[in-house]
Amino acid sequence: MGQVYKIAVVGSGPAGLSAAVHAAKLGLPHVLLEKTDHLSDTIYKYQRGKYVMATPDVLVLRSDTSFQAGTREEILGVWDNECEFHQTNVQLNADVQKITGEKGNFTIQTAAGDTILAEHVILAIGTQGNPNTMRCPGGDMPFIQYQLDDPKEYFDENIVVVGGGDAGIENALGLADDPGQGNNVTLLQRSDGFPRSKPANVALLESAKAQGKLDFLTGTTPVKVEPGVLTVETPDGQADLPVDRIIARLGSAPPRKFVESIGIEFGGPDRDALPVLSEVFESSVPGVFVVGALAGYPLIKHCTNQGYDVVEFINGNTELKPADEPILRDIFDGLPGEYEVSDWLEILRNKVDIFKDVSVLQLREFMLESTMHYKKKGEVVFERNALGDSLFAVVGGTVNVEINPADTSIVVPLGDGEIFGEIGLISGRRRGATIRAGAPSILVEMPARAAKKLIATTPAVKRAVDDIATERQIKQIFGNDISPEWIDRLKATAELLQLKAGETIIQEGDVSTDVFIIRSGSVIVEKNIGGKEIFLSYVAAGAFIGEMALFEEGKRTATVRTTIKSEVIKLPGDIFSAMMDERPMIRKRIEETIAARREVNSFIESQKSGFGSVVDLYSSVANFLLEEGLGEATDALLIDESLCVGCDNCEVACAETHLGISRLDREAGKTYANIHVPTSCRHCEHPHCMGDCPPDAIRRAPDGEVFINETCIGCGNCQRNCPYGVIQMDRVPPKKPGLLQWLLFGAGPGPGQADKAWVNKVATEAEKTGMKVAVKCDMCKGIKGGPACVRACPTGAAIRVSPEQYLNVAQRKGSV
């Protein structure tokens, strides 16, 4: 044992590095511990030559490590130099495994068996976690690697990729793509299929196997690794595979377990939960500080600033205002009252219930993404049927909810601290009512992603929001005639079910009168006619189902199952009956819904005898479309291939209206009974692509369009997360000569996406090497006339529809 450092920094990403360099500059005794043999492993692992963005622009950089937008190599080079220049004390290959002790006296142990003593610990280990390793005998052979930087580097090798997740599949495809490399690639997958991978990736893998480019073995696990040979257990017994290199992609274990082992508490059990931190980044273990991505700040600039700040705090600086102070000041600017940022944060925490349990630090972050509104009396906050998914809270004043669109004088007032907009947030559907300020009001609006994070990280918030949402959903569906007592009774018995895709909620023939509210996701209703499941209708979130049995002696007349992962509220049938008996208005309302549904059912039954095959075909088309992800779509491009002449004018139109890059691939995608689902965004209810976007660049516009704004940093996360493979990473091509010049003089490549050869010839060096950004369909947001692909189709083959319009309208007409 030796010296006791004042500060030990664990992890040398932008956050940890900045902290260590600042400590070095201040002359504090310090050490920087890094697991790998180089600094900043997350950035080190970016793709070669990747252009790294320095967003948000408004945030000033406050650190002794410099950072500006540039290539991965430039940034890593600068940091290496600065680290050396400030004589930072770095220990590489120091994988920290255990931290014990208390403030002033921590003991840090590394995998190599070293022990380091420190008064304070700064934990900056990011969120990448540790890759899971091969556990079988020989799992430590030197030719096993857990990362593949450049698949083009390997030639004439026997390579086995272990793990059939997306990463494994992408690696295997990359290695086998060019037969010229002469690699013999085999992928091993433990389960029988590839249930967790993107269908697009699985399709590529299968086609590569069919083309003889590679092989994969399912239901297969590695048993033993020896030089040159990998023994595997297959469903048909053991087999030996020749092997020169093993690439294991077994996923990674998030760092949470390690962090909790130190004693640090998290905000909740949710996967997205963050460590609970004080205003100065101190965790629930005094003396241990958490900064960077692990603290919930996913951008490099945030990380760098926090590294600096936390060392200042430890060094006794209590005056320091966080670097985001000016941004927050701007957010609160223009509101009545002469308050400082810190005053506003206190007001928010005191007034708004859901902020009560939120730390000031967390609140600062939420506020960075949020907007403050000051509304005059009578001003509209949002309109009924607008598609929005942000969450609002009243900080001061009142807003009126116009619950009856026919008579706007009937309102429900909401006062200080109450929230609204939560149904749009949960269901991803349209706003149920217009909201107007009833008095001059101060409101806070949190975008969906921030609000969801808040809900996920603080269980108290989740409970509060769930409760309010259930209550309001009951009101919205059954009308406001329902009295508070009944709401309380319904709420007390309501059960929230989390269902996977394809689960049955109601089984035809069963006896039960429970009623279900679809809170998120969607369901389909089917009826068994003549031994076949016949599709009756598609029901989206925000509606209820199961009420028919109340009028049919409790017998279920159809089967209902989820099309995608859904949340459903179950209300017991007996309470429901009692309520209807007492409240004739509610009975009437429900009877109306039933009349409409009966009509559909009897229509289908009548069709069945006449043109049975039409109804059959219709059912199978409906199932096909739901398999293709339409169950979670709000708007999808469908092409009728009996009309499509393959002119690709749809792609031309898309490229012409979208910076020269087509966001749809007409020919790719599956087809059934002439209905083709091309590769194009479905504008999912809960877009998978949004989840992991560091700058939060993927947004939902008021009309429901999911789009990517200009803050995209090109990290490619959304491309990996979209299950339908509709996002591409690309550079904006140079500008083309105009249409007339092309028509008259043949100048340029003509309408549509320019071919590579032309781009390579014309593009400037900057255009050729610029950063690739994520591009996807934005449903022609802001373009008058709507989707260009549809308008430009000469034959009527291409339409953009919401699944319920398509499925339910086509059915009524009895045509597919």
Partner 1 sequence: MARTKPNRKTHRDDAQHVSFLRHRNFRYLKLAMLISIVAIIAYFFVDPTPRHNGGTWYGYTLGTIGAGLIVWLTLLGIRKRAITQGAWSLKAWTSAHVYLGLSLLVIATLHTGFQFGWNVHTLAYTLMMIVIISGAFGIYFYSNVPRMMSENRADNTQQEMIAELNAIDAQLEDAARPLSAQYVSEVQRAINDTKITGGLFTRLSGRVNKCASMRALSRLRAVTEGSTTSVDEAGEDLGSVISILDRKSVMLNRVRRHIRYKTLLELWLYVHVPFTIFLLGALTAHILSVFFYW
Ligand X SMILES: Cc1cc2nc3c(=O)[nH]c(=O)nc-3n(C[C@H](O)[C@H](O)[C@H](O)COP(=O)(O)OP(=O)(O)OC[C@H]3O[C@@H](n4cnc5c(N)ncnc54)[C@H](O)[C@@H]3O)c2cc1C
- Which positions lie near ligand X, rule CB under 6 A? 10-16, 33-36, 40-43, 46, 52-53, 95-96, 124-126, 128, 292-294, 298-301, 303, 694, 713, 715-716
| Pick 235 or 646: Cβ nearer ligand HEM | 646
| Pick 404 or 795: Cβ nearer partner 1 | 795
- CA proximity to 10, closest of 30, 34, 38: 34
Runs of H (alpha helix) within 679-802: 717-721, 739-745, 756-762, 765-769, 788-791
Shortest distance, position 67 Cβ to partner 1, whole Å: 39
- CA proximity to 94, closest of 20, 18, 6: 20
- CA proximity to 727, closest of 251, 198, 206, 249: 198
| Pick 702 or 734: Cβ nearer partner 1 | 702
331 CB neighbour count, 10 Å cutoff: 19
- Cα dihedral 613, 616, 620, 625, rounded to 10, equals 90
Shortest distance, position 303 Cβ to ligand X, whole Å: 4
The answer to whether 213 and 178 have CB atoms below 8 angstroms apart is: no
Half-sphere exposure of 569 (CA within 13 A, CB side): 25
Selection from ligand SF4, ligand X, partner 1, none that 542 binds (CB < 5 to 8 A by kind) is partner 1
Selection from ligand SF4, partner 1, ligand X, none that 722 binds (CB < 5 to 8 A by kind) is ligand SF4
Residue 699's contacts (CB-CB under 8 Å, 6 or more residues apart) are 447, 690, 706, 707, 708, 709
Shortest distance, position 457 Cβ to ligand X, whole Å: 17
3, burial (CB in 10 Å: exposed 0-12, middle 13-18, buried 19+): exposed
Query: Which residue number places its CB atom closest to ligand HEM?
Result: 794
| Pick 142 or 212: Cβ nearer partner 1 | 212
Shortest distance, position 563 Cβ to partner 1, whole Å: 15
Shortest distance, position 791 Cβ to ligand HEM, whole Å: 13
| Pick 545 or 718: Cβ nearer ligand X | 718
Shortest distance, position 783 Cβ to ligand SF4, whole Å: 7
| Pick 258 or 382: Cβ nearer ligand X | 258
| Pick 448 or 652: Cβ nearer ligand HEM | 652
Going from the C-alpha of 234 to that of each of 30, 172, 240, the distances in angstroms are 52, 19, 10
| Pick 422 or 648: Cβ nearer ligand HEM | 648
Selection from partner 1, ligand HEM, ligand SF4, none that 703 binds (CB < 5 to 8 A by kind) is partner 1
725 CB neighbour count, 10 Å cutoff: 18
- CA proximity to 518, closest of 428, 590, 653: 428
Shortest distance, position 520 Cβ to partner 1, whole Å: 15
Shortest distance, position 198 Cβ to ligand X, whole Å: 17
| Pick 170 or 402: Cβ nearer ligand SF4 | 170
| Pick 516 or 724: Cβ nearer ligand SF4 | 724
Selection from partner 1, ligand HEM, ligand X, none that 124 binds (CB < 5 to 8 A by kind) is ligand X
Shortest distance, position 800 Cβ to ligand SF4, whole Å: 6
* Binding residues for ligand SF4 (CB under 6 A): 639, 644-650, 653-654, 657-658, 663-664, 666, 680-684, 687-689, 706, 722, 724, 726-727, 776-780, 787-789, 793, 795, 797-798
319, burial (CB in 10 Å: exposed 0-12, middle 13-18, buried 19+): exposed
Between CA 185 and CA 493 the distance in angstroms is 56
The length of the chain in residues reads 816
| Pick 381 or 793: Cβ nearer ligand HEM | 793
Selection from partner 1, ligand X, ligand HEM, none that 578 binds (CB < 5 to 8 A by kind) is none
Shortest distance, position 671 Cβ to ligand SF4, whole Å: 12
Between CA 189 and CA 250 the distance in angstroms is 10
Selection from ligand SF4, ligand X, ligand HEM, none that 724 binds (CB < 5 to 8 A by kind) is ligand SF4
| Pick 300 or 779: Cβ nearer partner 1 | 779
* Binding residues for ligand HEM (CB under 6 A): 647, 794
Containing 368, the helix (H) or strand (E) segment is: helix 360-369
Tell me how far the alpha carbon of residue 333 is from its chain's centroid. Answer: 31
| Pick 24 or 790: Cβ nearer ligand SF4 | 790
Selection from ligand X, ligand HEM, partner 1, none that 211 binds (CB < 5 to 8 A by kind) is partner 1
Shortest distance, position 45 Cβ to ligand X, whole Å: 8
How is residue 272 annotated by DSSP?
Answer: T
Shortest distance, position 10 Cβ to ligand X, whole Å: 5
Selection from ligand HEM, partner 1, ligand X, none that 125 binds (CB < 5 to 8 A by kind) is ligand X
Selection from ligand HEM, ligand X, ligand SF4, none that 176 binds (CB < 5 to 8 A by kind) is none
Q: Name the percent of the chain in helix, strand, coil, to the closest 5.
A: 35, 25, 40
Selection from ligand SF4, partner 1, ligand X, none that 421 binds (CB < 5 to 8 A by kind) is none
The answer to whether 224 and 136 have CB atoms below 8 angstroms apart is: yes
Selection from ligand HEM, ligand SF4, ligand X, none that 12 binds (CB < 5 to 8 A by kind) is ligand X
Q: How far apart are the first and last CA of the chain?
A: 78
Please name the residue that has the structure tokens 């940091």.
79
Between CA 687 and CA 685 the distance in angstroms is 6
Between CA 571 and CA 494 the distance in angstroms is 5
Residue 383, token pair as written in the block: 């309109």
Shortest distance, position 709 Cβ to ligand HEM, whole Å: 34
Going from the C-alpha of 281 to that of each of 288, 291, 306, 348, 357, the distances in angstroms are 9, 7, 9, 20, 16
Selection from ligand SF4, ligand HEM, partner 1, none that 663 binds (CB < 5 to 8 A by kind) is ligand SF4
